[in-house]
Structure 1
Amino acid sequence: MIKKLALIFLLVCLILAGSLLWGKSQINEYLTSPRVQETQLFTLKDGSYFSHLGPQLVAQGLLDKTTWWKVISKLNPELTKIKSGTYQLPKGASLEDILIILNSGREFEFKLTFVEGSTYKDWLKVLGNAEHLKPLDDDEVVLLEKLGSPYKKIEGLLFPETYHYTVDMSAFSIIKKAYQHQQKVLDKLWSERDKNLPYKNAYEALIMASIIEKESGLSNDRDKISSVFVNRLRIGMRLQTDPTVIYGMGDRYDGRIRSKDLREKTAYNTYTMHGLPPTPIAMPSEQALYAALHPAKTRYLYFVSKGDGTSYFSKNLKEHNNAVNKYIRGK
């Protein structure tokens, strides 16, 4: 009888052990089997609990069933502290990988790149086409008020680089970050500027930097281009730079500048006006700002593009005309 009971007990133990091993293998397979066929975004809404997550994963085809869902919450409580947000799930991710990602709180970051020399109009297009970004509803006047800016135009006041954001961030938050960055860079460079520059304030240096940015093909030429414009300002000579004409034409610019455009009196036409235009004409880079505040020491008054990204610099009009004939007219 005792032997019979012992055999029954042993059999029960073996069955239990087998069941535990089977259950453990099933849970392990449930957790570690690849679930994500292609890299994708997954959004967990505010107020979602772990109990809500299982059905959502099933509904989105990332889980076939929730059979072991409650068991997992008991055996792996550290995986249940999920946080709302939008996350990127990599191809081949398992359920365990998904839970680790959702527990991390590190939401997927989108990125927007604003190139050097772009205008505010360009920025609006980029922001308007950005996915999962709350739109910019304010006009330029209200926007500047929110930023606490004393200026009337936002052109030039935003630092061009790549910015990151998460789902449902506002476009204003990117504008604000870019504005603060540009102010920080400008303040630092202005405090370190060369002496005796023909600028009344840092804003005029920003205007000059935007012109240098639009005129420079290679960074190596920026300080020499800066010297040309600074030398002209010092002797009261008009800047005569095409990018300002183009900016003043606005939407009328079709890719060409005609003689009548150079004669047209606009607030930005430096062929008809002396000094700097009233505002920047683009968003300048830190390198362009540096060049505006540290021009090369030259006697150049002219430059012309050589067609390879560099420029030919001249001290007088005769030399400049010869360079124009060579590099522009091919004579």
Structure 2
Amino acid sequence: MSSAKPKSKKKKMQPSKKPKIILLTAVIFAVLICTILWSSLFKAYPVEGKKQMLAIGQGDTYSGFIDRLVKEDKASFPIVLKLYQKLMIHDTLKAGVYEVRQGMSIREVMVMISNIDNAQMNRILVIEGTTFKQLIDALKNDPLVTHDVSNLPYSQILQALDIPFSHPEGLFAPDTYFFAKGESDKKILKDLYSRQMKALDQAWEKRAPNLPYKDKYEALIMASIVEKETSVDSELEQVSGVFVRRLQQGMRLQTDPTVIYGMGDKYTGNITRQDLRTPTPYNTYTISALPPTPIALPSKKAIEAAMHPDSSNNIYFVATGNGGHKFTANLQDHNRAVQEYLAVIRAKN
């Protein structure tokens, strides 16, 4: 009787778990990518109502635009948006005003604002303290503006606009002006003139008593000087007060911006002692009154400051070297402030 060997049981092969893990990982990764893309590129741009206007300024960048969207909780994952712009759009932002319709994605908006042909409107930013020449140059160089008058001599521009002044400086509001494509420079200038005259009239009606101005045009001249002397809003009335008291006391204004304006194209960035001694109609180191015209386009705030100077006794001021100015009432204190300013400059250098 033979003894049979017991049969060995074969172990059943268990299916590997690796493919399932890989598949699950791929699904999770795909979901994550889709979520990121939706939250960044394909998320609807938030619009109040059926449509709204989106203004892009001169010099604005995609990076700044995207950062602003994220800060306002309108978009997520800025790195994805910036990468998409670099790889797919390439172009820079084009200044203008664009119509964003309800349902447009952030990606569609980004593409739209890279093409100026999509702009519904454009805008001109007139900076406070810039000159009429700079305003005219901006109009000349804007391809969306119809050039009717900007290439004319200044006297003919004023005549075409029916403006009863012999010099254009100061007469136009430094403001952000929105206009449709093809708007004429004539209409833009008329509107800016109207805004400036309205601001001047309103301030003149509410002016402080006993101001040393013969008329509101002289107040406009003063406003332009105040505008050029400080970029700190809180100092506007103090600067105005210094110059008003100088006029009242028969002192010369002695303000550098008037010298620079009188030099015209001769000014190359520095003023010499010879420049201060060289007479021009605008050099307030050599004339004992206001210059004959404004020297820049003053803001509404500067116009109001010219009408409401501070009530201190200060008749001098000098830069501190750290931003702003130090105001003083006598020459001794002023000279001390000058030495303090020079010490700050030497320390910085």
TM score, norm. by length of structure 1: 0.68
Name the counterpart of 1:144.
Answer: 158
2:219 maps to which of 205, 212, 215 = 205
1:26-59 CA-to-partner distances (Å, cap 9, x unmatched) read xxxxxxxx9xxxxxxxxxxxxxxxxxxxxxxxxx
Amino acid at match of 1:194: A
1:279 aligns with 2:293: yes
CA contact (8 A) 2:161 2:186 kept: no
Q: Please give the alpha-carbon distance, in whole angstroms, between the structure 2 residues aligned to 1:297 and 1:313.
A: 13
Name the counterpart of 2:61.
Answer: none
Q: Please give the alpha-carbon distance, in whole angstroms, between the structure 1 residues aligned to 2:229 and 2:201.
A: 23
1:118 aligns with 2:130: yes
Name the counterpart of 1:59.
Answer: none
Q: CA deviation at 1:107?
A: 7.5
Amino acid at match of 2:120: F
Query: For residues 152 and 328 of structure 1, do their structure 2 counterparts lie closer, same or farther at Cα, with a shift above 3 Å needed?
Result: farther
Query: For residues 116 and 88 of structure 1, do their structure 2 counterparts lie closer, same or farther at Cα, with a shift above 3 Å needed?
Result: closer
Q: CA deviation at 1:148?
A: 2.4
1:238 maps to which of 247, 252, 257 = 252
The answer to which of 312-321 and 120-129 deviates more is: 120-129
CA contact (8 A) 1:228 1:302 kept: yes
2:312 maps to which of 295, 298, 318 = 298
Name the counterpart of 1:316.
Answer: 330
List 4+ stretches of structure 1 deviating above 6 A.
Answer: 89-94
Amino acid at match of 1:257: I
Q: Please give the alpha-carbon distance, in whole angstroms, between the structure 1 residues aligned to 2:138 and 2:185.
A: 10
Name the counterpart of 2:238.
Answer: 224
Amino acid at match of 2:245: N
Q: Please give the alpha-carbon distance, in whole angstroms, between the structure 2 residues aligned to 1:249 and 1:142.
A: 23
Query: For residues 310 and 142 of structure 1, do their structure 2 counterparts lie closer, same or farther at Cα, with a shift above 3 Å needed?
Result: same
What runs of 5+ residues in structure 2 fail to find an aligned partner? 1-41, 43-95, 109-117
Q: Please give the alpha-carbon distance, in whole angstroms, between the structure 2 residues aligned to 1:87 and 1:162.
A: 12
Identity rate, percent: 44
CA contact (8 A) 1:217 1:309 kept: no
1:220-279 CA-to-partner distances (Å, cap 9, x unmatched) read 011011010000000100000000000000111111000000000000000001010000
Name the counterpart of 2:172.
Answer: 158
Secondary structure of 1:169's partner?
A: coil
1:166-223 CA-to-partner distances (Å, cap 9, x unmatched) read 1211111111100011001101110110011000000000000000000012110110
Q: Please give the alpha-carbon distance, in whole angstroms, between the structure 2 residues aligned to 1:88 and 1:114.
A: 20
Name the counterpart of 1:57.
Answer: none
Q: Please give the alpha-carbon distance, in whole angstroms, between the structure 2 residues aligned to 1:87 and 1:230.
A: 42
How many residue pairs align between the two structures?
237
Name the counterpart of 2:185.
Answer: 171
Secondary structure of 2:326's partner?
A: strand
Amino acid at match of 2:270: R
RMSD across aligned C-alpha pairs, in angstroms? 2.4
Q: Please give the alpha-carbon distance, in whole angstroms, between the structure 2 residues aligned to 1:325 and 1:177.
A: 46
Secondary structure of 1:226's partner?
A: helix
Matches of residues 1-331 of structure 1 in structure 2 within 5 Å? 108-135=120-147, 136-330=150-344
Secondary structure of 1:254's partner?
A: coil
CA contact (8 A) 1:263 1:272 kept: yes
Q: Please give the alpha-carbon distance, in whole angstroms, between the structure 1 residues aligned to 2:249 and 2:165.
A: 28
TM score, norm. by length of structure 2: 0.64
Q: Please give the alpha-carbon distance, in whole angstroms, between the structure 2 residues aligned to 1:301 and 1:89.
A: 52
Q: Please give the alpha-carbon distance, in whole angstroms, between the structure 2 residues aligned to 1:295 and 1:90.
A: 45
The answer to which of 264-273 and 169-178 deviates more is: 169-178
Q: Please give the alpha-carbon distance, in whole angstroms, between the structure 2 residues aligned to 1:235 and 1:89.
A: 56
Amino acid at match of 1:127: L
Secondary structure of 2:318's partner?
A: strand
Q: Please give the alpha-carbon distance, in whole angstroms, between the structure 2 residues aligned to 1:143 and 1:164.
A: 21
